[in-house]
Amino acid sequence: MKREVWLDFLRVTACFLVMTVHSTEPFYLGGEGTLVQSSADAFWVSVFEGLARCCVPLFVMISGYLQLPLHHSTGEFFRRRAIRIVVPMVIWTVVYALVWGHPVANFKGLLLNFNYAAGHLWFVYMLLGLYLIMPVLSPWLEKVSRKELGLYLALWSLTLFIPYVRSVAGGLAPIIYARDGLPAPALFPLWGEASWNPFGLFYYVSGFVGYLLLGVYVRRFVPSGRLVRVLGWTFFLVGFIFTCFGFLQQICEGGYFPVEGSVEVAVNWECAIAFCGFPVALTALGLVLVFRPIAVPEDSGFYKYIIQPLAEAGYGMYLMHMLILGPVAGWLHGMWSTPVVILATAAISFVASGLIAVLVRHIPVVGKWIIG
């Protein structure tokens, strides 16, 4: 299959955006769980979250764009995904369990969930769940019409407003975290949900699966050109404005600084920047449309020696980057102004993890098992 060069540029950008999101967290997560020192910190955190929060949806859209309908049998698809995704995840899960926290306690919990010290690994579990459903979606996507797929995406778009409806209806934080970090359900029930039934009306057409379908829709039915790129920039800017100022409004709601509280406070704020919320989805779709017209020859030096190696090592970069970003963030915190520290932390972490991942991936035999 011919390599989609623009997707490599998008994948590398998404990697940097992930590190940008994690570089903002020290400026609103701290103390007892939530700590924002000043209005300036609140503003810059909101700006960078608004710009970068689309990173996870971008990865899922790329998966849908490239892999659906499936190009292999179900067994072969799972075998390839196991080698590419599961093996590196297991390796890095063990690394985090040994390096962060208490190894014995960490290993005891690994059969049930990821190590909470390495919270970014939630993404891999979500992605594996999507892989499990892909063989079910694939036959339908082989023959689906533009109208049919558009109707499902329209329905999914309605579910992107559920976080805000639930937050308003529920009043307080939609999720409360216990001392051990485990979430305790406190969701306001909507449309068929109840204490005895979490599977409400929109359960099966909501969440990240919509981004898979959106990736397929873009590949099959959305043209590439100047007008589409303008539309993409429009989507991105509108999504950014709502994401940024929605988050900022949540932080500044009390009207005083510093803002301190338990982690539930930050969890409640993050409703405004939910991955499966409409503003974030708009920024993700916008960036896909902006990047799609990129046409760079595969033998271009910049692409061949920088973008392509980073894109191929992107999964490994994601898995390892917190081992680098954490110390770098601690070292730089307070050294310069907030936006400079956020950008410097993200840039240093990106370059370092990228260099390490590319080098490790080239180790004969074992490199791809470690990096993916």
**Ramachandran quadrant class, 33 (left: phi over 0; alpha: psi -120 to 50; beta: rest):** left
Q: Quick check: 47 and 10 in contact, CB under 8 A?
A: no
Instruction: Please tell me the predicted confidence (pLDDT) of residue 267.
Output: 82
Instruction: Please tell me the predicted confidence (pLDDT) of residue 129.
Output: 95
User: What residue type is 205 in one-letter code?
Assistant: V
Q: Quick check: 361 and 74 in contact, CB under 8 A?
A: no
73 or 262: which carries more pLDDT confidence? 73
Most confident of 29-33, 221-225, 341-345: 341-345
Give the 3-state secondary structure of residue 1: coil
∠ Cα 289 292 294 (to 5°): 135
360 or 169: which carries more pLDDT confidence? 360
Other CB atoms within 10 Å distance of the CB of residue 183: 11
Tokens at 107, concatenated: 């290993």
- Given a cut of 90, whether residue 333 has pLDDT beyond it is no
| Per-residue b or e along 16-55, where b marks 16 or more CB atoms closer than 10 Å to that residue's CB | bbbbbbbbbbbbbebeeebbbbebebbbbbbbbbbbbbbb
Q: Quick check: 303 and 8 in contact, CB under 8 A?
A: yes
Tokens at 230, concatenated: 């303008």
Residue in 64, 215, 54 with CA at minimum distance from that of residue 131: 64
175-177 and 259-262 strand pairing:
unpaired
Instruction: Please tell me the predicted confidence (pLDDT) of residue 174.
Output: 45
| pTM of the model as a whole | 0.92
Instruction: Please tell me the predicted confidence (pLDDT) of residue 289.
Output: 96
- Given a cut of 50, whether residue 92 has pLDDT beyond it is yes
- Given a cut of 60, whether residue 172 has pLDDT beyond it is no
The span from the CA of 88 to the CA of 50, in Å, is 30
Instruction: Please tell me the predicted confidence (pLDDT) of residue 116.
Output: 77
Which whole number is the average pLDDT over 350-355?
97
Q: Quick check: 187 and 193 in contact, CB under 8 A?
A: yes
Burial class (CB within 10 angstroms; exposed 0-12, middle 13-18, buried 19+) of 250: buried
Residue in 186, 206, 204 with CA at minimum distance from that of residue 195: 186
Give the list of residues 6+ apart from residue 300 with CB closer than 8 angstroms, or none: none
- Given a cut of 50, whether residue 307 has pLDDT beyond it is yes
- Given a cut of 90, whether residue 106 has pLDDT beyond it is no
- Given a cut of 90, whether residue 255 has pLDDT beyond it is no
The span from the CA of 346 to the CA of 350, in Å, is 6
In 9-137 the beta strands, taken as DSSP E runs, fall at 33-36
Other CB atoms within 10 Å distance of the CB of residue 131: 18
33-36 and 259-262 strand pairing:
antiparallel
Instruction: Please tell me the predicted confidence (pLDDT) of residue 186.
Output: 58
183-185 and 33-36 strand pairing:
unpaired
- Given a cut of 90, whether residue 127 has pLDDT beyond it is yes
Helices 122-143 + 74-81 axis angle, to 10: 160
User: What residue type is 324 in one-letter code?
Assistant: I
The span from the CA of 31 to the CA of 41, in Å, is 15
- Given a cut of 70, whether residue 12 has pLDDT beyond it is yes
Which 8-state DSSP code applies to residue 145?
-
Which whole number is the average pLDDT over 335-339?
91
Q: What residues form DSSP beta bridges with 34?
A: 261
Tokens at 30, concatenated: 């701290």
Which whole number is the average pLDDT over 122-137?
95
- Given a cut of 50, whether residue 343 has pLDDT beyond it is yes
pLDDT in tens, 41-56: 999 999 999 999 999 9
Mean pLDDT of the chain: 90
pLDDT in tens, 156-171: 999 999 888 877 776 5
- Given a cut of 60, whether residue 184 has pLDDT beyond it is no
Share of the chain above pLDDT 70, in %: 95
